[in-house]
Amino acid sequence: MAHGDPSNPKKNPHPVKRYEITATTEAPGPWDSVSGTVFFDVVNVDCVPQGAFTGGRNIPNVSHEFEMTRMDGKTWKGLFHRDLLQDENYFGKGVCHWDATGMGPVFVVHGATFSPTRGLEQAIRAGSYTEYFKKSAYKDRSFTDMSALEFLPNSPEVAKHPEDFFPITVTIKEAGP
């Protein structure tokens, strides 16, 4: 029997899979706000009905914000639960299982967003990752309500003009219950 709303899933009353992220930045100035976002998807697609015409599935996904606490002028830490959401039978086809599939810090200045996000499994395997952002995007107030373009460390642009960029490094580790 189907019940619940996959666009607004209930929270797991007893989450235990806790992760800590640490974000360090060399931005050319202070941030207006820093938070974190974790992305969740239903990971067993058989619980979702197929579309009548296309045969595709509309896989439920949601995101949740979590707090990032400032440790010093360059470093923030935050905690999130990978098992934050409660599994349910939304469509009458069996229980849908939620899992965190991506995460990252969200730095905001002048209304512009700098968000080095990654897939959760990729980030856990790596332990840490660094992405670069243009200093000009940080300083440009016309970026309001926009996301700054992120560059990987091996990007030709970063290699050619490293002085034009600043890094944000994210470290992730399991923190226990």
Digit-coded pLDDT (tens) for 77-86: 999 999 999 9
The model carries a pTM of 0.90
Is residue 2 over pLDDT 80? no
In one letter, which amino acid is 152? Answer: L
With 0-12 CB in 10 A as exposed, 13-18 as middle and 19+ as buried, what is 10? exposed
Select from 36, 96, 79 the least CA-distant residue to 175.
Answer: 79
Query: Confidence class of residue 50 from pLDDT cuts 50, 70 and 90?
Result: confident
Q: How far apart are CA 43 and CA 82, in angstroms?
A: 13
- Has residue 143 got a pLDDT over 80? no
Query: pLDDT value at position 71?
Result: 97
Helix count and strand count (H, E) for the chain: 3, 10
Beta bridge partners, 167, equal 132
Over range 101-129, report the average pLDDT.
Answer: 93
Assign 51 a pLDDT band (cuts: 50, 70, 90). Answer: confident
Residue scoring higher pLDDT (1 or 159):
159
User: What is the pLDDT, as a whole number, of residue 120?
Assistant: 93
Among 118, 94, 116, 115, smallest CA distance to 43 is for 94
- 107: buried, middle or exposed (CB in 10 Å: 19+, 13-18, 0-12)? buried
Distance CA 34, CA 39 (A): 17
Q: Is the pLDDT of residue 49 over 80?
A: yes
Q: What's the confidence (pLDDT) of residue 144?
A: 67
> For residues 68, 101, 83 and 168, what is the CA-based torsion angle, rounded to 10 degrees?
-20
The pLDDT assigned to 1 comes to 66
pLDDT at 141: 74
Whether 45 has a pLDDT exceeding 80, the answer reads yes
Rg (CA), the chain: 19
Q: How far apart are CA 46 and CA 115, in angstroms?
A: 32
**How far apart (Å, rounded) are the C-alpha atoms in residues 36 and 117?**
9
Across 56-60, 69-73, 144-148, least confident range: 144-148
pLDDT of amino acid 177? 62
Distance between CA 149 and CA 17 in Å, rounded? 31
Residue 145's pLDDT band, with cuts at 50, 70 and 90, is low
Q: Is the pLDDT of residue 53 over 80?
A: no
